[in-house]
Amino acid sequence: MSSISLQARNVTKSFTSGPIHNTVLHNLTLDMHAGELTLISGPSGCGKSTLLAILSGLQRPDAGQVFALGQDLGELNSHALERFRLQHTGFVFQGFNLFPALNALEQVELPLSYLGLAPGEARRRAMASLEEVGLGPRMGLRPSELSGGEKQRVAIARALAKEPGLLFADEPTSALDAANGQIIIDILHRIARTHGTTVLCVSHDPRLVGHADRVLAMEDGRILSDRVPSPTSTPTSGLEEPSA
Domain boundaries of the chain, sorted by first residue: 4-97+167-227
Q: Domain 4-97+167-227 falls in which CATH fold?
A: Rossmann fold (3.40.50)
Q: What's the pLDDT at 235? A: 43
Separation CA 104–CA 154 (nearest Å) = 6
Least confident of 14-18, 53-57, 66-70, 208-212: 208-212
Separation CA 96–CA 141 (nearest Å) = 15
Q: What's the pLDDT at 24? A: 94
Average confidence (pLDDT) over 152-163: 96
236: pLDDT strictly greater than 70: no
Comparing 1 with 79, the larger pLDDT belongs to 79
Comparing 174 with 127, the larger pLDDT belongs to 127
244: pLDDT strictly greater than 70: no
Res. 241 pLDDT band, cuts 50 70 90: very low
- Strand 166-170 and strand 198-202: the pairing is parallel
Query: In this prediction, what percent of the chain has a pLDDT beyond 70?
Result: 93
Residues 210/232, Cβ–Cβ less than 8 Å: yes
The SS3 assignment for 34 reads coil
pTM for the complete prediction? Answer: 0.89
Separation CA 59–CA 56 (nearest Å) = 8
Strand ranges for 50-171 from DSSP E? 63-68, 71-72, 89-93, 166-170
239: pLDDT strictly greater than 90: no
Q: What's the pLDDT at 178? A: 84
Q: What's the pLDDT at 210? A: 79
Mean pLDDT of the chain: 90
